[in-house]
Chains A and B, each alone.
Chain A
Amino acid sequence: MPDLLIELFSEEIPARMQTRAANDLKKLVTDGMVEAGLTYASAAAFSTPRRLTLTIDGTLDASPTTVEERKGPKADVPEKAIEGFLRGAGLTRDDLEERETPKGSILFAKITKPGRPAADIVAEVLENAIRNFPWPKSMRWGTGSMKWVRPLHSILAILVAEDGATVVPMDVDGITSSDTTEGHRFMAPGRFSVTSFDDYSTKLKRAHVVLDATERRDAIWNDATNQAFALGLEVFEDNGLLAEVAGLVEWPVVLMGQIDEDFLGLPPEVLQTSMREHQKFFSVRNPKTQRIERFITVANRETADNGATILAGNQKVLSARLADAKFFWENDLRVAKSDMNVWLQSLENVTFHNKLGTQAELVNRMAALARELAPAVGADPDMAERAARLAKADLSSEMVYEFPELQGLMGRFYVEASGEDAAIAAASEEHYAPLGPSDDVPTAPISVAVSLAEKIDKLCGFWAIEEYPTGSKDPFALRRANLGLIRLVLNENTGVSLSSIFRKSIHGHLNDLLVRQVETELNATENSFPASLIASLHNDEIDTFKELAAAKEDVYDAELQMAGIKAKAMTRHLLAFTHDRLKVYLKDQGIRHDIINACIAMDGNDDINLLVKRATALNEALQTDDGKNLIQGFKRANNILSQAESADGVEYSYGADVKFAETGEERALFAALDMTEPTITSAMAAQDFTTAMSAMASLRSPIDAFFEAMQINAENDTVRRNRLNLLSRIRTLCSSVADLTKIEG
């Protein structure tokens, strides 16, 4: 049972792609081998910056020989027919065997497919894998046409049997396979040959290469935490950074350096961001003071001076970086403390979106919305407005220009430094949340008001300019904003009618668009007809001029009215979009889409809290036996009624009378309806959906008994109509709770 060792050796593979690539190599090769009949016992894949390695244990020398039997014609058919069969199957007469069967004597052919040597199969599968490798981005180099993530230099491919290793011969675009590889680029240059995976990994380690990324990662983390621990410090955990750094080195050497005293006053987030983003350094913090005092860098080699030169270099680069950050921080603080209006004014020069105006205009809209929404979320309107006005101020700061990922957080620092209330400052940071589905929703009232304002304005703005998300395209992250809005509203648990808020905001946006358009047109008119020339017009020309101007006014008026209708239509469209998001959200909470649809079809569906309460109650009711069967009863009643109504051309809604009831079941249903009607009505008025739904579910047995015993189409027309009117009562009552026709099944 030979083993197989493959190594694809290239120039430096991007760190973020290595692990995935190793797994892809494993899958492509093992799948290909198995498909060709080469089974194996186990396989493992590894990666370093310069190599992808695959080791496969316990495969076969060759794929097994297979024998296939094919049934031919009867033995007594004309010779021509037999020749035809032989030609088609690519056989000779000798391959045929005559066998007696119940249907007579029949010719059978035995087709033997000989197995193929493992080396042939591996060469074919590996070449295929190399040529079709799923790199996220690949390139050509030199004069070749082959693509790889970076230039591929060598292929090691050996089959290892008890009697030694043999190279799997292959040639991919001029790269010939061998049994050799290279060690560390600087510490152990030169090629060497290997005879097995054990030999390979041992020799690699001797040549200063740790093959296993997990081993490198663990070594880095252990060494880093040990060095920090020795000084009573702790390393800031950052798994993303750890994985990346482990992908940048073959021989990790952890070095800890000091951060210059000058920079220790910077906020820890600034230090951490600057070090991580620019230098890929870990931050080391003093647990007593919570200050970041040192950094950890991971070099790719040992040196005679124990890394002193490397560390000094890194320290110097860091100091230059932090000097920039400190410069930004101090300048920004100076502005924040003296007059933050400078930043607010400069937002006038920053475009939010070319059709939706500047960041300053955005802030104005957010301020108005935040003020309006404040009472509903328990925030002080003045404070909410102030917080919204300041929420984007940090976008003008130098720090955020340099590190966009610090937006919000810097705002919080700067707004607080300017002397504002801490709750107002917090909104600068928190109004961006929630960003992802697992991100926390803000709960501080002012932050909630500003966050809602930001999301509503964004959604309504992009709806007004008809930039909806389509398919996979959502460049303005509107789905995320919408989900954020939903989660905020649900978390607040207050009734907010989204329709009127949406309509007002969209209408405002449409008017702004119109004003901008008119302004441009006016400019155009002025340009085409200078005001200074109006005096030179003849009388008849003045009349025409006035007529044309009036016609323009009319068009403008019509446009204004149109904006009103458009706002309504767009609001419905945005609400439907919100309902779709809500469906996805509730589906994750285990509520079926048809249940949500049944509730969306009801009035008040723009109040998400109400909608979710209704859906939750309906969902619970439908879990019960009564609930499930009630749906069937309701549907039956509804179908019969609808058919009768369309056949008779009338609507049966006069109110049934118990005096025409003929049987006990019929009277029982009357009684049940009389009893549940007031319960449901008052529960619905109190938005107590659970009570309403369980009362509704209690109708199940009288309805079932009614259908069991009765024929609706009685011969007596009065009795028939009375029964249809009775069904109508069921329909009306149930439909006041949810649109049960939408329930599937």
Chain B
Amino acid sequence: MSTSTPRSFQEIILRLQAYWASKGCAILQPYDMEVGAGTFHPATTLRSLGSNPWAAAYVQPSRRPTDGRYGENPNRLQHYYQYQVLIKPSPPDLQELYLGSLQAIGVDMDLHDIRFVEDDWESPTLGAWGLGWEVWCDGMEVSQFTYFQQVGGHDCTPVSGELTYGLERLAMYILECDHVMDMPFNDPDAPIPLKYGDIFKQTEEEYARWNFDVANTDVLLRHFEEAEAECEVILSQAFDDPKTGKRIIMAHPAYDQCIKASHIFNLLDARGVISVTERQAYIGRVRALSKQCADAFVQTRAGGFVEAAE
């Protein structure tokens, strides 16, 4: 494997894809919905539940409306990419596998100082927690490393190991860029070289304006209620589908509504219309949805449910 220094943002992504593919992960595509972090992808939240083994890696575009800075802050974006790896059960050499991935993207282990610094992970909206570290490279946090203990209120047995790379920050470090917008997205020698800013500067401005000042909060509030109601309606259906006669629990469609509610909550938060106390209540409502989705998923085959023999 090449350990030369990559030359672009996309090369780092491609190398991570190749590395984790070589370690046996299914390379999935991003989830087609707005999420705040790669963890929300059902390939992580739902698949970390139940006893079935799992190994997946993917890029997940993530949105955090409150972090929008109109593309001016060198390190903050409202839309950014996470690289996510989830392996269940967590293999005993997960730390070594992870360090191998750093080498694969050009981090010279002989020159850098890599540290595992305590960081307990908790997602109040997902009803999830785990223990692990933030991984530091020369004092910079380059990844989150977590052993999931509970998701959606369910104990994780077996335990999944989750790795999350903040791709822009990591790439800026490797490519030695001071401002994210100056980072080469494709090969700088390509016929049409594109920088990160060529692709995202304008969208950062557009979304920052919309997120902070224009998004219609009444509509958002209504969407939140609707997503919440729909999620509950979906999950209230009988397990057995009257049309096909099959056991079809609609855990994923319900979970989509949960993701939707979660993202709308983030948008409302960015609009500044949620008070400190209301905040807790909203988080509690999303958590209730994710718990119900987790309850439903563990009743499915993918969630480890085994139908009793006739």
Contacts and interface: CB of A to CB of B under 8 A. Distances in A.
Contact of B138 (A16, A49, A143, A317): A317
B159 A140 contact: yes
B10 interface: no
Contacts of B130: 139
A517 interface: no
Contact of B111 (A281, A310, A317): A310
Contacts of A350: 276
A320 interface: yes
A59 interface: no
Interface stretch (B22-30, B114-122, B209-217): B114-122
Counting chain A residues whose Cβ lies within 8 A of the other chain, the interface size class is: 35 or more
A137 B131 contact: yes
A283 interface: no
B112 interface: yes
Given A15-B118, A186-B109, A309-B138, A351 B275 contact: yes
A279 B139 contact: yes
Interface string A317-341: 1101001000000000000000000
A354 interface: yes
B304 interface: no
Interface string B96-121: 00000000000011111111111010
Contacts of B277: 351, 354
Tell me which of B108, B120, B149 has the highest count of chain A C-beta atoms within 10 A of its own C-beta: B149
Interface in A233-258: 248-249
B133 interface: yes
A149 B116 CA distance: 14
Contacts of B297: none
A351 B281 CA distance: 15
Given A313-B139, A314-B139, A317-B139, A142 B159 contact: yes
A686 B139 CA distance: 66
Contact of A11 (B95, B108, B120): B95
Interface residues of B, number: 39
B173 interface: yes
Contacts of B165: none
Interface in A189-231: none
A310 B113 contact: yes
A301 interface: yes
B234 interface: no
Contacts of A314: 138-139
A153 B92 contact: yes
B75 interface: yes
B110 A139 contact: no
B139 A12 contact: no
Nearest to B75: A320
B265 interface: no
A411 to B, nearest CB: 20
Tell me which of B131, B157, B158 has the highest count of chain A C-beta atoms within 10 A of its own C-beta: B131
B37 interface: no
Contacts of A303: 110-113
B74 interface: yes
Tell me which of B95, B115, B161, B277 has the highest count of chain A C-beta atoms within 10 A of its own C-beta: B115
B159 A139 contact: yes
Given A151-B147, A304-B111, A351-B276, A297 B139 contact: yes
A299 B116 contact: no
B140 to A, nearest CB: 4
Given A143-B158, A301-B113, A317 B140 contact: yes
A11 B116 contact: yes
A297 to B, nearest CB: 6
A354 B275 contact: yes
Contacts of B138: 309-310, 312-314, 317
B90 interface: yes
Contacts of B116: 11-12, 49
Interface string B120-131: 100000000011
Nearest to B74: A320
A141 interface: yes
Given A248-B115, A299-B113, A313-B112, A139 B149 contact: yes
Interface string B136-165: 011110000001010000001111010000
B91 interface: yes
A313 B137 contact: yes
Contacts of A142: 89-92, 158-159
Contact of A140 (B109, B132, B149): B149
B89 A150 contact: no
Contacts of B173: 313, 316
A151 B113 contact: no
Nearest to A298: B113
A312 B137 CA distance: 11
A300 interface: yes
Interface string B50-80: 0000000000000000000000001100000
Interface string B268-288: 000010011100000000000
Tell me which of B120, B147, B156 has the highest count of chain A C-beta atoms within 10 A of its own C-beta: B147
Contact of B90 (A16, A137, A141): A141
B113 A143 contact: no
A350 B75 CA distance: 27
A305 interface: yes
A299 to B, nearest CB: 4
Contacts of B112: 303, 309-310, 313
A175 to B, nearest CB: 10
B36 to A, nearest CB: 20
A436 interface: no
Contacts of A351: 275-277
Contacts of A349: 272
A14 interface: yes
A641 to B, nearest CB: 58
Tell me which of B113, B116, B272 has the highest count of chain A C-beta atoms within 10 A of its own C-beta: B113
| A-B complex: 9 closest residue pairs judged by Cβ atoms | A313-B138, A14-B118, A12-B116, A314-B139, A354-B277, A299-B113, A143-B158, A309-B111, A139-B131
Given A316-B173, A354-B275, 15 more contacts: A49-B116, A137-B131, A141-B89, A142-B89, A142-B90, A186-B109, A299-B113, A301-B113, A304-B110, A313-B137, A314-B138, A317-B139, A318-B139, A323-B74, A351-B276
9 contacts: A139-B159, A142-B92, A299-B113, A300-B113, A314-B138, A318-B139, A350-B276, A351-B277, A354-B275
Interface of A: 11-12, 14-16, 49, 137, 139-143, 149-151, 153, 186, 248-249, 279, 281, 297, 299-301, 303-305, 309-310, 312-314, 316-318, 320, 323, 349-351, 354
